[in-house]
Amino acid sequence: MRRIKLTVAYDGTDYCGWQIQPNGITIEEVLNKKLSKLTGENIVIIGASRTDSGVHAMGNVAVFDTKSPIPPDRFSYALNQKLPDDIVIVKSEEVPSDWHPRYQDHIVKTYEYHILNTEVPDPTKRHNTYFVSYKLDVAKMREAAEYLLGEHDFASFCNIRTNVEDTVRTIYELEVLESECTYARNGHAAGRELTIRIKGNGFLYNMVRIIVGTLLRVGRGFYTPEQVKEILEAKDRQAAGVTAPPQGLMLMQIEYQDILLTKK
């Protein structure tokens, strides 16, 4: 029996998220079915991050155990032949048999949230960006982001939680990046694209999307940057901004540090 780690990319548009649901197809379900078909075994994967409906990934992680003779690094190729074209295995490799993608001491997750800030929506980016036509003060958004850096209790930035849950997380990086949008580059309409890139040791339910919703309120002038400090200290979901919609969000990578991942 070997444990195989998969790095998985997907367009989440047509899926009810990662985790198996009673009504609606999910990424996990498709991977279980295709892996079971490929190996002839009853495969149930363990995922690292249960992304929501409509959220995308470039580097989600899952593991499964198999007796298949397929070489570990060839699972990506074999599986990609069977998968629909909105799910791609980027990499497959063997890991120690007790290695778990969620329970590790040093995990760094990177998300990006893509905002199209222009006069009119771009139809080719409707599934991958959040379209916002109002004026945004990016300098103020960056100022507000500073307050969220480091270790904090992010209870104000979590949608559903149990009483026992630890809501302390550490954000290592939180950048608001600006780039030219296609309309502006071709002289059609004023605007730009914003990417909110966030790196942390873990994220609560909807945490990235609530942070984005809050930074957008700052950019719009509804909150001052300083108010984000108060929102954080309130430890109350009601204090923060709305949850930004799913399609702008992408899980970029999950890094497992200080761990000898590959089985020699």
111 is an annotated ligand-binding site residue: yes
Site string for its own copies, 94-113 (x = CB under 8 A): ----------------x---
85 binds its own copies (CB under 8 A): yes
* Residue 52 annotated among the catalytic residues of the structure: yes
Task: Tell me which of 37, 82, 100, 126 binds its own copies, using CB under 8 A.
Answer: 126
Residue 245 CB, nearest approach to its own copies (Å)? 13
Strands 191-200 and 46-47 turn out to be unpaired
Query: Choosing from 52, 86, 137, 153, which is the catalytic residue?
Result: 52
| C-alpha 48 chain-centroid distance | 11
182 binds its own copies (CB under 8 A): yes
Report residue 218 as tokens: 């700052």
91 binds its own copies (CB under 8 A): yes
CB 25 within 8 A of CB 97: no
Partner residues linked to 199 by β-bridges: 110, 173
C-alpha distances (whole Å) from 102 to each of 96, 141, 150, 207 are 14, 31, 21, 17
Smallest CA-to-CA distance from 144 within 199, 219, 202, 198 is with 219
C-alpha distances (whole Å) from 89 to each of 93, 102, 174 are 11, 19, 28
C-alpha to C-alpha distance for 166 and 203, rounded to whole angstroms: 11
Choose the stretch contacting its own copies; rule: CB under 8 A; options: 64-72, 97-105, 119-127, 236-244: 119-127
C-alpha to C-alpha distance for 195 and 178, rounded to whole angstroms: 6
Task: Tell me which of 7, 49, 117, 243 binds its own copies, using CB under 8 A.
Answer: 7
Residue 101 CB, nearest approach to its own copies (Å)? 15
90 binds its own copies (CB under 8 A): yes
Site string for its own copies, 25-64 (x = CB under 8 A): -------------------------------x-xx-----
Scan residues 62-81 and list those touching its own copies (CB under 8 A): 76, 80
Task: Tell me which of 41, 65, 86, 153 binds its own copies, using CB under 8 A.
Answer: 86
**CA dihedral over 217, 218, 220, 223, signed as positive or negative:** positive
Task: Tell me which of 69, 105, 123, 264 binds its own copies, using CB under 8 A.
Answer: 123
CB 162 within 8 A of CB 242: no
Residues in contact with its own copies by CB under 8 A are 7, 9-11, 56, 58-59, 76, 80, 85-91, 110, 120-124, 126-128, 182-183, 186-189, 250, 252-253
Specify binding-site residues for substrate: 111
